[in-house]
Chains A and B, each alone.
Chain A
Amino acid sequence: MFKNESDFKKIVGRLNIDNKPNPAHRESLRRKMLSVFNKTGEKYGPQATFFHTLRRTIMKSPISKLAAAAAVLLVTSIVLFYFRYDESVAMVDVVPKQLTTNIATGPELVALDIKLPRPMFVGTPVDTRVPNLEEPLGKPRPPFYAPVGTKNVAFEKPVTSSDEDPVWGEPEMITDGDKEAADGSYVELGPFKQHVTIDLEAEQNIYAIVIWHFHKEPRVYYNVVVQVASDPDFTEDVTTLFNNDIDNSLGLGVGKDMHYTETAEGKLIDAKGVKARYVQLHSNGNTSDDLNHYIEVEVYGKPAK
Chain B
Amino acid sequence: MAMVGAMAKIVRQTDSNDLVSRARTEADALGRLYGLYYERIFRFCVLRLFSKEAAEDVTSTVFLEVARRIRTFAGRTERDFQNWLLRIAVNQANAYIRKTSRRNKLLAEAAGSMMTTDESTESLPELDWPRLYQAILKLKPEHQTIVTLRFFENMEFEQIGQILEARPATVRVISHRILKKLRKHLQTVCDGEA
Q: Do A and B bind each other?
A: yes
Residue positions of A touching B, CB distance < 8 A: 1-2, 4-5, 8-9, 11-12, 15-19, 21-22, 25-26, 29-30, 32-34, 36-38, 40-41, 44-45, 48-49, 51-52, 165, 167, 190-192, 289-291
Residue of A nearest to B132 (CB): A15
Q: Interface digits, B27-49 against A, CB 8 Å rule (1 contact, 0 not)?
A: 10011001100110011001100
Q: Which of B129-187 contact A (CB under 8 A)?
A: 129, 132, 142, 151-152, 154, 166-167, 169-170, 173-177, 179-183, 186-187
Docked CA distance A16–B180 (Å): 23
Could you say which of A5, A33, A45 contacts B66, with CB atoms under 8 Å apart? A33
Residues in B with CB closer than 8 Å to A36 are: 64, 67-68
A-B contact pairs, 9 of them (CB 8 A): A8-B151, A11-B132, A16-B128, A21-B38, A26-B42, A30-B31, A34-B31, A37-B68, A165-B180
A37, B70: Cβ atoms closer than 8 Å: yes
Residue of B nearest to A288 (CB): B167
Docked CA distance A2–B27 (Å): 47
Could you say which of B67, B170, B173 contacts A40, with CB atoms under 8 Å apart? B67
Q: With A15-B132, A34-B31 in contact, is A49–B166 under 8 Å at CB?
A: no
Residues in B with CB closer than 8 Å to A37 are: 27, 30, 67-68, 70
A34, B67: Cβ atoms closer than 8 Å: yes
Residue of B nearest to A14 (CB): B127
Q: With A1-B183, A16-B128, A40-B71 in contact, is A291–B152 under 8 Å at CB?
A: no
Residues in B with CB closer than 8 Å to A16 are: 128-129
B46, B64, B71, most chain A CB atoms within 10 A: B71
Q: Interface digits, B100-129 against A, CB 8 Å rule (1 contact, 0 not)?
A: 000000000000000000000000100111
Residues in A with CB closer than 8 Å to B151 are: 5, 8-9, 12
Residue of A nearest to B182 (CB): A8
Docked CA distance A49–B38 (Å): 27
A19, B170: Cβ atoms closer than 8 Å: no
Docked CA distance A16–B127 (Å): 11
Docked CA distance A165–B184 (Å): 13
The 7 A-B pairs with the shortest beta carbon distances in the complex, nearest first, are: A36-B67, A37-B67, A19-B46, A48-B71, A290-B170, A21-B42, A191-B170
Residues in B with CB closer than 8 Å to A11 are: 127, 132
B169, A289: Cβ atoms closer than 8 Å: yes
B84: interface (CB < 8 Å):
no
A290, B167: Cβ atoms closer than 8 Å: yes
Residue of A nearest to B131 (CB): A15
Docked CA distance A199–B59 (Å): 46
A16, A40, A289, A290, most chain B CB atoms within 10 A: A290
B91: interface (CB < 8 Å):
no
B60: interface (CB < 8 Å):
yes
Residues in A with CB closer than 8 Å to B183 are: 1-2
Docked CA distance A16–B66 (Å): 30
Q: With A18-B52, A37-B30 in contact, is A29–B70 under 8 Å at CB?
A: no
Docked CA distance A121–B33 (Å): 51
A19, B47: Cβ atoms closer than 8 Å: yes
B14: interface (CB < 8 Å):
no
Q: Interface digits, B64-83 against A, CB 8 Å rule (1 contact, 0 not)?
A: 10111011100000000000
Could you say which of B30, B56, B68 contacts A22, with CB atoms under 8 Å apart? B56
Residues in A with CB closer than 8 Å to B66 are: 33
Residue of B nearest to A3 (CB): B183
* Minimum Cβ distance to chain A for residue B105 (Å): 18
Docked CA distance A152–B86 (Å): 49
* Minimum Cβ distance to chain B for residue A51 (Å): 8
Docked CA distance A157–B187 (Å): 35
Q: With A38-B27, A40-B67 in contact, is A191–B47 under 8 Å at CB?
A: no
B13: interface (CB < 8 Å):
no
